[in-house]
Chain A
Amino acid sequence: MHRLLGLETEYGLYVEGVDVSDLADEARAVVQSFSGPCAKRWDYRDEDPLKDARGFRATQLTFNPEDIKYEKPTGKHLSAREDHVDHILTNGARLYHDHAHPEYSTPECRTLADLVAHDKAGERIVWACAQTRARQAHREISIYKNNTDFHGMSYGTHENYLVRRDLPFDWLITALLPFFVTRPLFAGAGKVGCEDSRVQGVPFQLSQRADFFTEICSVDTLHRRPLINARDEPHTDPRMYRRLHVIMGDANMSEYATALKVGTTSLVLSAFEQGFLPTIVLRDPVRAIKEVSRHLSGPWLVELDDGRTMGAIEIQRTYLKAAQERFVERDDETKWILKEWETVLNDLETDSSRLADRVDWAAKRQLLESFIESENLSWQDEALFSLDLEYHNIDPERGLYYALEQQGAMRRFVTDQKVRDATEHAPSDTRACLRGECVRKFGKFIEALNWGRIWLNHEDKIVEINLRNAFDGRVKDLYREINESSTLAELVRKIVQK
């Protein structure tokens, strides 16, 4: 791909006998069970979640009033470091606690293969932590890679795309909405039921997250969630780039679905960067994503601003055509995306059950239908919620997605060996390898670090390695310097000389 990509996953956590109000402590304990080499001092100075990409600063973030009921007054204010218990790993990833969830942010990747491998590596790392914690606490712990607790609480799987800053953000909002609203057709993870109490008669829907969006655009993520998140934290040169922080997607268990979700979105952004501007304007995007999600078969009609309707597949084909016209000969991953995108849309049009070997909602639906038939149940049976949850269990011996994968029934995108490698090694073609190598070689000297900078303590002086403009050749040069330095003094000498 021609851009930096990353995924952040907040994992669902169930600890036998532990109340939801104690989950933050448990999530921290899971993260702190990480036993590999790492650095632990994350620096927050470059973060500003109130900064809005539309050119202003929000006054505050909104919080879910239902969730606040679970806050336990401890009388103790935790610093950001105490709260998040950050672990920065040799693979360049960040493992931490956020809002009572273990969270894993992949390192920056340039290829879909690396991104999918690191996403799956995150599952293995979090699961290993949970196992360690379970042994220590003598309690059963389950970890779920999903986005809902079926009781109205959602947690996110965020995508990150480095985008040219000269694309006006307002323009991006308009251009992305029809694509995002219809993307659950192949990127939805599927969900039993509906978490909008006003809506009845939705036994199963395409998306885990669609029920939770109420706004078109804002910096919020915890409550009153928007389809387009406007958080302006580029973690790189803000004059050149923005980081598009996508919060409307689902957590995918399917490697194929992760690859197609991120790959198509990246190509759509590339088309925008080359001047493509779709003419589709939706009347009510928030309503539209829910309507798309709540229908299991076509035509998935969406109302346009001029009163006409348009099928969701036709909307997707508009973006596909723009990408085909521009990128058909670009590289192997792009060719894969274009071919699979078209195939998936064709399958949706003819027989969506064909997608059960690739697309999470279709795989989950087929599993549940087989169970309903076998056990003579109805879609209203409570057990279906539990089976939905278990599809996302990342324990390979329990998770239902993994039951399918182990039988060879789900298409893979990467090998197990590549996932294993990703648990320890960063992609070699992004700045993540600089972070990872510093943690590996000079971890005990790291004073602090974040996505864009590393601060090393050398003889009580702080030396900064700036990664904010580290791309391509600069990554290679810096990596060579770190790799070839046998001592910190040698590395510092090379950095200072520049």
Chain B
Amino acid sequence: MPDRVIKPAEPWGKPDDGGEGGPRTPDVNRPNTDKLLERMRRVDPRAARRYRQRSGE
């Protein structure tokens, strides 16, 4: 998986008033590919076969 280069997004507008200062801009720019792959390997490969839905709007 190619490394991602995340360009800093320009903050727009005023800061949120939430006070926590959550992650508007990613502070990690290279995802841990091994961790992602590990999470993907845990997905049941037949999950979509079982997944049936009613037609919605």
Q: Residues on A close to B: CB < 8 A?
A: 10, 12-14, 20, 23-24, 63-64, 66-67, 70, 98-101, 113, 144, 149-151, 153-156, 158, 221-223, 247, 256, 332-333, 335-336, 339, 353, 356-357, 366-367, 369-371, 373-375, 381-383, 385-390, 398, 400, 403-404, 407-418, 420-421
For A245, give the chain B residue with the smallest CB separation. B57
A386 touches B45 (CB 8 A): yes
Residues of B within 8 A of A353 (CB): 2
Cβ contact within 8 Å between A404 and B36: yes
B51 to A389, Cβ gap below 8 A?
Answer: yes
Given A99-B55, A371-B40, A400-B36, 17 more A-B residue pairs with CB atoms under 8 Å apart are A23-B54, A64-B55, A70-B54, A99-B56, A113-B13, A155-B54, A156-B56, A335-B12, A381-B45, A382-B45, A386-B45, A386-B47, A400-B43, A411-B26, A412-B22, A415-B18, A416-B18
Asked if A67 and B54 sit within 8 Å, CB to CB, the answer is yes
Chain B residue nearest to A340 (CB atoms) is: B9
Chain B proximity of A361: nearest CB distance (Å)? 15
Given A155-B56, A371-B40, is A411 in contact with B25 using a C-beta cutoff of 8 Å? Answer: yes
- Cβ contact within 8 Å between A222 and B55: yes
Task: For the complex formed, measure the closest distance between the CB of A346 and the CB atoms of chain B, giving whole angstroms.
Answer: 12
Neighbour of B28 across the interface among A99, A144, A409, CB < 8 A: A409
- Assess whether A113 is in contact with B16, with CB atoms less than 8 Å apart: yes
Q: A144 to B39: give the CA distance in the assembly, Å.
A: 17
- List chain A residues, Cβ under 8 A from B19: 417
4 closest Cβ pairs, A-B complex: A155-B56, A415-B22, A417-B18, A370-B1
Contact B16 A155 (CB under 8 A): no
| Chain A residue, CB-CB nearest to B23 | A412
Which residues from chain B contact A101 at a C-beta distance below 8 Å? Answer: 53-54, 56
Would you call B4 and A153 a contact (CB within 8 A)?
no
Q: How far is the CB of A227 from chain B (nearest CB, A)?
A: 14
Distance in angstroms between the alpha carbons of A70 and B35 in the assembled complex: 40
Q: Which residues of B contact A404 (CB under 8 A)?
A: 31, 36
Question: What is the predominant secondary structure among interface residues of chain B facing chain A?
Answer: loop
Residue of B nearest to A19 (CB): B52
Pairwise interchain contact A10-B16, C-beta atoms closer than 8 A: no
> When the two chains form their complex, are residues A153 and B31 in contact, meaning their CB atoms are under 8 A apart?
no
Say yes or no: B56 contacts A10, CB within 8 Å.
Answer: yes
The contact string, 1 if C-beta is below 8 Å from chain A, for chain B 9-43, is: 11011101011111111111101110111011101
B residues with a Cβ closer than 8 A to A are: 1-2, 4, 6, 9-10, 12-14, 16, 18-29, 31-33, 35-37, 39-41, 43-57
Q: Which B residues touch A410, using CB under 8 A?
A: 26
Nearest Cβ in chain A — how far from B41, in angstroms? 8
Which of A14, A156, A357, A413 makes the CB contact (< 8 A) with B24? A413
Residues of A within 8 A of B54 (CB): 20, 23-24, 67, 70, 99-101, 153, 155
Residues of the B chain whose Cβ atoms lie less than 8 Å from the Cβ of A374: 1, 37
Assuming the contacts A98-B57, A99-B54, A155-B53, asked whether A389 and B40 have C-beta atoms less than 8 A apart, the reply is no
Q: Establish whether residues B18 and A366, one from each chain, have CB atoms under 8 Å apart when the complex forms.
A: no
Q: Quick one: which of A99, A369, A421 contacts B18, CB cutoff 8 A? A: A421
A151 neighbours in B (Cβ, 8 Å): 51-53
A113 to B12 Cα, complex, angstroms? 10
15 CB < 8 A contacts A-B: A23-B54, A24-B54, A70-B54, A149-B53, A150-B51, A333-B13, A336-B10, A383-B45, A389-B48, A403-B35, A404-B31, A407-B31, A408-B23, A409-B29, A417-B18
B45 neighbours in A (Cβ, 8 Å): 381-383, 386
B residues near A385, Cβ cutoff 8 Å: 48-49
Q: Which residues of B contact A383 (CB under 8 A)?
A: 43, 45
B6 touches A409 (CB 8 A): yes
Q: Shortest distance in angstroms between A334's beta carbon and chain B's nearest beta carbon?
A: 10
CB <8 Å contact, B13 and A403: no
Q: Which residue of A lies closest to B44 (CB)?
A: A386
A407/B32 contact (C-beta < 8 A), A335-B12, A366-B1, A370-B37 known: yes
Chain A residues, CB < 8 A from B9:
256, 411
Contact B40 A414 (CB under 8 A): no
A232 vs B55: C-alpha distance in the bound complex, in angstroms?
22
- Given contact pairs A383-B43, A407-B32, A417-B18, A412 touches B12 in the complex (Cβ within 8 A): no
